[in-house]
Amino acid sequence: MSKQWQGLIKEYAEFLPVSDKTPIVSLGEGGTPLVYACKLSDALKNQVWLKVEGMNPTGSFKDRGMTVAISKAAEAGAKAVICASTGNTSASASAYAIKAGMKSAVLVPDGKIAMGKLAQAVVHGATLLQVAGNFDDCLVLAQELSENYPVSLVNSVNPDRIEGQKTAAFEVVDVIGEAPDIHVLPVGNAGNITAYWAGYREYFDKSFAKQKPAMWGFQAAGAAPIVDGAKVDNPETIATAIRIGNPASWKQAIAARDESGGLIDKVTDDEILAAYHYLASQEAIFVEPASAAGLAGLFKMQKENKLPTGKNIVITVTGNGLKDPQWALAGAEAAIKIPAKAEEAAIALGLI
């Protein structure tokens, strides 16, 4: 008989802020594949794994934080939750709110979230507010509303979100048997780099790992406040998930970088798209553009002769490519149209 993964709260309960009184709101999140990337390992002269977070129930890593945040909100008697989002947080919050029997309200930057994510919030019945502003404006609004009205905030400024997200670091160690030398990921609001670093530190402190990785984060060049050392008032990137100019976990990201001996750098949209196509065409992993920022960063480091060799490297690819398919189709050759005849198909395929 096969055993189904129980969702990350049950699997990692001892590491999480839950008790017997916490109603567990789960869609079976976590336990995502850590896929060894053969071609990438050859190309980068390191052992490279991809932590495929697009396999979570709503298609992104956000479900890890959301199962804990919504469970704790339910424990506290919340009837409604609110979040600001570049898309994935709103998709996740609206789904977990349904599971918990709560209402959800999501604030997104008007016209700047991917269609798949918009569809998720709508189909799960969230009250969707499209704000004339960017993500940073949405977050300020969401915080204000949660302070003054009866709604719980489930953005990553809520510490329960970070607690859930740190379990991805546990899973990496549980699979490889040790923490990697380098952990690479995209950085937007900087919750995830904060969470992974917390997870690796906790496993190290509890002797489940003998080392901690260097944390390497990458922002999009048009939305790189941490790299440039200043808020960005009008962030711009095709990777809308990380189109963020004033990250909530800015300080924690700097701490993760410095305590781990890591780095936070930036990559251009062209570099992101090149890495996006590499993942799909060489490693069979279809991610959304923001998720390719980590690999884009590794390629950049290699070009600048700053990439070591022979190391264990894990790249978190944060979200599923189906959420934002326009970048897969952009510039693609038109499909070949044929009549429904085998011979015509064979000719078109070059078989005769």
**Which stretches of the chain bind ligand AN7, using CB under 6 A?**
60, 62, 85-89, 156, 186-192, 241-242, 288, 290-291, 318-319
> CB 180 → ligand AN7: shortest distance, Å?
19
Minimum CB distance to ligand AN7 smaller for 182 or for 290: 290
> CB 105 → ligand AN7: shortest distance, Å?
14
> CB 156 → ligand AN7: shortest distance, Å?
6
Q: Which residues, listed in sequence order, are joined to residue 121 by a DSSP beta bridge?
A: none
> CB 343 → ligand AN7: shortest distance, Å?
45
Minimum CB distance to ligand AN7 smaller for 47 or for 299: 299
> CB 192 → ligand AN7: shortest distance, Å?
3
> CB 25 → ligand AN7: shortest distance, Å?
19
Minimum CB distance to ligand AN7 smaller for 47 or for 106: 106
Minimum CB distance to ligand AN7 smaller for 44 or for 242: 242
Minimum CB distance to ligand AN7 smaller for 47 or for 88: 88
Minimum CB distance to ligand AN7 smaller for 47 or for 232: 232
